[in-house]
Amino acid sequence: MPLSSPAPRERMHTRRIEINGYLRADGMWDIEARLVDEKSYGFDNQWRGRVEPGMPVHDMWIRLTIDDDKVVHAVETSTEAGPYPICPQVAPNFQALKGLKIGPGWNNRVKVLLGGAKGCTHLVALLGPVASIAYQTQSSTLMKRKGKADPWEATGQKASASRPKPWYIDSCLAYATDGEVVKKNYPEFYTGK
């Protein structure tokens, strides 16, 4: 077990999120996510009747089709299970994502377009991790296509002392400006001793 032994406890809720990235035969990319919530106990639902342990409270899907530049070309959602009959009716609202580019500011734009009563809390919650998986899905393939070993260089930028700082520097501990990864791969941005 990767964490320490817990105190005695009883599981009450499980959320499973699975996100897969696909390269399509037409050169586009599908990023597909599924969220499933289950309770470990049964309860009565005003619209669905009895929801037994292990039955999904939420079972929702979203698929974004993007190009190499991470621009959204198509969006599809599906609500297989939700607590209310109206839940699936939110699907058309997600078409607002078409034309948006996954990148800096993505989460804020999603919040403006689909926050509150315009969206679905659960489907919107998937869009942050979907964006991250879009990068993970495309990075190696795009680097190979462009003959680059570095994800920043795969954008077409040439290495030079005057290049702008890559977006991912200082995005996590591994890419800290005073760390070994930056020192080795991006010495012009290294701030350590």
> Is 104 strand, coil or helix?
coil
Find, among 5, 13, 32, 36, the residue nearest to 21 by Cα: 32
Q: Is there a contact between 48 and 145 (Cβ–Cβ < 8 Å)?
A: no
Only one residue has tokens 């403006």, namely: 112
Separate counts of helices (H) and strands (E) for the chain = 3, 6
Q: In this predicted model, what pLDDT tens digit does every residue of 18-44 receive, in sequence order?
A: 999 999 999 999 999 999 999 999 999
Residues 95 and 178 placed together within one structural domain of the fold: no
The per-residue pLDDT for 47 is: 93
> Is there a single domain that holds both residue 124 and residue 41?
yes
Instruction: Judge whether 185 lies within some domain.
Output: yes
Question: How far is the C-alpha of 122 from the C-alpha of 133, rounded, in Å?
Answer: 17
What's the domain count of the chain? 2
Strands (DSSP E) contained in the chain are: 13-23, 29-39, 43-45, 49-51, 56-66, 72-81
Looking at the fold, whether 39 and 131 belong to one and the same domain comes out as: yes
Per-residue pLDDT, 129 = 96
Give pLDDT, residue 51: 95
Q: Which domain holds residue 64?
A: 13-145
Segments in the chain below pLDDT 70: 1, 148-162
**pTM score above 0.85:** no
Report pLDDT for 1.
61
Q: What tokens appear for 65 in the block?
A: 């089709």
Residue 106 lies in a domain: yes
State residue 111's pLDDT score.
96
Instruction: Indicate whether 141 and 163 sit together in one domain.
Output: no
Asked if residues 129 and 32 have their Cβ atoms less than 8 Å apart, the reply is: no
How far is residue 137's CA from residue 139's CA, in Å, rounded to a whole number?
6
Same domain membership, residue 116 and residue 141: yes
DSSP three-state, residue 172: coil
Whether residue 167 is contained in a domain is answered as: yes
